[in-house]
Chains A and B, each alone.
Chain A
Amino acid sequence: MKPYTKLIAAAIIASASSLTPALAGEVLDQIMSEGMLTVATDANWAPQSFLNDDNEMDGFDVDVAKEIASRMSVDIEFVTPDWSIITAGNWAGRWDISVGSMTPTTARAEVLSFPGVYYFTPTSFAVHEESPIQDKLELNGARICATTASTYELYLQQDLEIDAVGTPPFEYDVVPGEISSMKDTSTCLNDVRLGAGVRVDGVIGSLPALLAAKDAGFPIRIVGTPAFYEPLSVAIDKGDAELDAKIAEIVAAMHADGTLTEMSIKWYGIDYSAGM
């Protein structure tokens, strides 16, 4: 063959091979050989993950990710793509795992693999503190704000199927009249604080995040018992059983030796790692 035909042939083979799904152990091998774990997480999700005063990633999820990396004896780096890009799967090796408090829903399990549930959080409703609404059941038919493509929105759409062992059962006892779908919980909270019923009547979100907002001076009030408890898991791309096993082993060990309990108390003041 002439040199350039060889080159073209090589290019075709190279691009064809990159089309095939990840081979068993391929991602794990790459992490170990590079000595670097690339973690995708959201930077807009205090107290799970956010930019701290030193402009570095910090939070519960970030601590968990760092612990996983240190137990694999590799360095860590964070990337911050949009949440919907992380949940869409097909990461193409851009990052290795997501430690981003992701709920293993049935639909997500079709594109991602969930090796380890590391904690559970209650999901609650909140309203403006001057709102006449006293219980979550009064939010039936109301206009409720939720993060786009989140489990909260799926709950409002009555389309939430959680695919993890040990998930407590729940009921759809609040059916909104209208869903206001926003980019993140803080956008929702900013709408809620304008006043009861101005843009929205209430917001659904993770209880720790709602409580953190209340502490920061947002005029909100939690109503009713939690809507559901969601298991939150590490996620990896489909197809690497060895990485899956490795992460599952590490998360189980972190449950067993109390590391997760300690971290949960550090960030939330409550041990959410054990479930109910």
Chain B
Amino acid sequence: MYADTVIGDKLIRKPRFLLGLLAVAFIAFFTFNMADTIIGEFLRPVIGEPKESGLFGRSAAALVLAILFVGNLFVISLFPIKVQIGIVWLQLLLLFMAFFYSFDLKFSFIQSKIGFMITQGLFTTLYISAVSIMIASVIAIVGAVAKLSNNGVAFAIASFYTSLFRGLPLLMQVFLIYMGLPQIGYVIDAVPAGIIALSLCYGAYMTEIFRAGIQSIPRGQWEASRSQGFKFGLTMRRIILPQAVPLIIPPTGNQFIAMLKDSSLVSVIGVWELMFLARTLGQKEFRHMEMLITAALIYWCLTMVLEVIQSRIEKHYRQKGAR
């Protein structure tokens, strides 16, 4: 929520807004003819045979759906905010599940494969991401220090590095490292090649995040600290970093989440991680959707865990900053 102290009337209590919303919903449902779906079946006593009900059936179905939609929103608005969030999440999740369910999936197939997807695929994805994130963080700290220093050589190397690795698609970096390094005599396996590519790419992004976070602390903080006679190291440790870290954490958390998913690019060089297995396991029985959806849900659950951790850390720093 905003830190704003003036809170206006709720939009949803205004009749004009409700009518407008109803009109928009009606047009939307009318555009996607809803008469020949399950809604049309429910309306059969009123509109007769749904397929032959024509424009009347179509608008009746759209109207019913629009009223349900707006009524749903209105009812939700009566609850306290925590309950509202819960209900909306649940409803969206149910819609999403209904979307998957409509694919006519074979759940016994998913059941027979999910164990291997987790022990082999998820495990590989996790350890590749974890190792890469650690290396990337180290690179980022070194890179940020170099980019902020007044040493020309260090700045040049660091800025060349961030420019190059932010400038190339990650997939291309994976290929370049896997196929390029052997050309100069270093034959590395697929997993180390993937880790190097991920670390270098994300190290470059995180270098910029760290640098921007440190630079965003006003000059006056440096001046005040130095005028007290604090040395550089002490200023950095006690004055600048404590203020910069809360700014650095949200974008860094984003990078962690993005890295977890980008590790799927390593599948092109034959690493048996989650994405590779999602594409491969359903091959024999031609059940690709099952495996893709299973992998999708696994990725999603993982990122939700990371999101929770991220919001906990952010909250911790917000409380520290509270007066």
Using a CB–CB distance below 8 Å, which chain A residues touch chain B?
Answer: 14-16, 18-19, 43-47, 50-53, 55, 79-82, 85, 88, 90, 92-94, 186, 189-190, 213, 216-218
Contact = CB atoms under 8 A, between A and B. Distances in A.
Contacts of B179: 85, 88, 90
Contacts of B166: none
Interface stretch (B149-157, B249-257, B277-285): B277-285
Interface in B269-310: 269-270, 272, 276-277, 279-281, 283-286, 288
A53 to B, nearest CB: 7
25 contacts: A14-B185, A15-B184, A18-B187, A19-B184, A19-B185, A43-B283, A44-B280, A45-B283, A51-B277, A55-B116, A79-B270, A80-B270, A80-B280, A81-B269, A81-B270, A82-B269, A85-B269, A90-B179, A90-B182, A189-B286, A190-B288, A213-B286, A216-B286, A217-B286, A218-B286
A92 B181 CA distance: 10
A14 B184 CA distance: 11
A190 B283 CA distance: 12
Nearest to A14: B185
B270 A92 contact: no
A18 to B, nearest CB: 4
Which 4 A-B pairs give the minimum distances between C-beta atoms? A92-B182, A81-B270, A15-B185, A216-B286
Given A51-B280, A55-B113, 4 more contacts: A50-B283, A51-B283, A94-B182, A216-B285
A249 to B, nearest CB: 28
B164 to A, nearest CB: 23
B190 interface: yes
B120 interface: yes
Interface string B4-26: 00000000000000000000000
A70 B179 CA distance: 30
A28 B178 CA distance: 24
A216 B283 CA distance: 11
Contacts of B111: none
Contact of A44 (B184, B272, B283): B283
A66 to B, nearest CB: 18
A53 B286 contact: no
Nearest to A215: B286
A94 B276 CA distance: 19
A186 B284 contact: no
B187 A92 contact: yes
B112 interface: yes
A236 B283 CA distance: 26
Among A19, A44, A55, A190, max chain B CB count under 10 A is at A55
Contact of B120 (A43, A55, A213): A55
A216 to B, nearest CB: 4
Nearest to A58: B284
Contacts of A93: 187
Contacts of B277: 51
Given A15-B185, A44-B279, A92-B187, A186 B270 contact: no
Contacts of A189: 286
B188 to A, nearest CB: 9
Nearest to B277: A51
A51 B285 contact: no
A18 B185 contact: yes
Contacts of A14: 185
Nearest to B182: A92
B269 to A, nearest CB: 6
B314 to A, nearest CB: 39
B112 A53 contact: yes
A200 to B, nearest CB: 17
Given A19-B185, A80-B272, A90-B183, A55 B281 contact: yes
A52 B284 contact: yes
Nearest to B282: A186
A51 B277 CA distance: 9
Contacts of A16: 185
A52 B282 CA distance: 10
Nearest to B287: A216
A93 B187 CA distance: 8
Given A43-B280, A50-B280, A53-B112, A186 B187 contact: no
B189 interface: yes
